Structure 1
Amino acid sequence: MLMKIILPGLRETIFMLVGSFVASVIFGFLLSLVLITTDPKGLRPNRAIYETISVVINVLRSIPFVILIIAIIPLTRLICGTSIGIGPAIFSIAVAGSPLIARLLENCFKEINPSLVEAAKSFGASDWQITYHVIVKESIPLVVSQMTFAVVSILGFTAIAGTVGSGGLGAVALTYGYQNFNDQIMYSTLLILILIVEILQISGNVLYKKIK
């Protein structure tokens, strides 16, 4: 049972978690930079761009993931060629994870003391220098803390994705555990997910304290 069912599911979950988290961080980071720059109090205020991106993020975040992953199946098939498997799952999770991370990072960047930004401007720093050396670097400890929350949330997305044909521990728990009335598999996958969350949370806390 362990070698044939649970370990393959665990491997698929890890692949989905790492791939979707990396993709979500990349796109979320880019979106957060646009938001923080075009914010009414940002370096280059632009209400139209800020409000448009903000509305899209709010809409995507307001849709439960289990509904979102089904709603974007046509788009997933267009991009990935299929809607079943690890690749499509990573794409779907990234669609849901990117807005989440963008909003978390935006809030982190807004916590930076405005006086630091003004001081950098007085020294003639460019917008890019202010963004990278002041806003981003100064918020790294808070970013680490928020990314710990984000990766745990994305782990939950991988479990949901598994219930709609993407594999992983979610599929194992549903197919071999719940539908076959096998409590041993059901609670084994539950225990593994709890252990993964604990490892992620402890690692994030240790990294945060070290950077702080």
Structure 2
Amino acid sequence: MRVLIAEDEPVLAKQIKTVLASEGLAVDIAPDGAEAQFLGETEPYDMIILDIGLPIKDGLTVLKGWRNAGIDTPVLLLTARNDWTDRVDGLDAGADDYVPKPFHMAELSARVRAMIRRKVGQSNPVFTKNDVTFDSRNNQVMVSGVPTNLTAQEVAVLSYLFHNSGRLVSRTELSQHIYQYDGDRDSNTIAVFVNRLRKKLGNDLIETVRGRGYVIKATA
């Protein structure tokens, strides 16, 4: 899953990125409103963390531009302003949630995970298929109740497929959602990760639709 952090405080932006990246998310940073608007319009993010007080273009202006352009990526506002009307303005402009500064990183990451789940219509943070269980809160994978170690790339692929259970996902889409903006998005490596997952989790979990992509079929 892929997240954009639009935050002009470099120390805070790096702290948020470090926390989210440690949880298996691909994270990009935009230091101002102009870059945030460009990335939000051109990159397929699963959610966006947007500071209201950005330079060049403020966060509310950027948000309104996205919504007017039909971009419905979930947005979590960060605000250091105490006036409740600013938060109302943000929600009315199309934000999905907000967190006032200062905040606890654990709360922020929990809100990020919840927003990503809501985007794809998943309410339960724990995904189960056959004898495989994936807990998106800590990226723990269990097979028949036994913990299984996966690489960061394998977790990223598995997480995206589980979050999109029941929907066919192409290699290109997977590569767009597991790598950062400046990452090496080689869609051919996706097949390698899927094959590794099958060896560790069983051949029946991830199905291949030849020439189109992969799917974890939703549990009835």
Per the normalisation by structure 1, the TM-score is 0.25
Could you say which structure has the higher helix fraction? 1
Per the normalisation by structure 2, the TM-score is 0.25
Could you say which structure has the higher strand fraction? 2
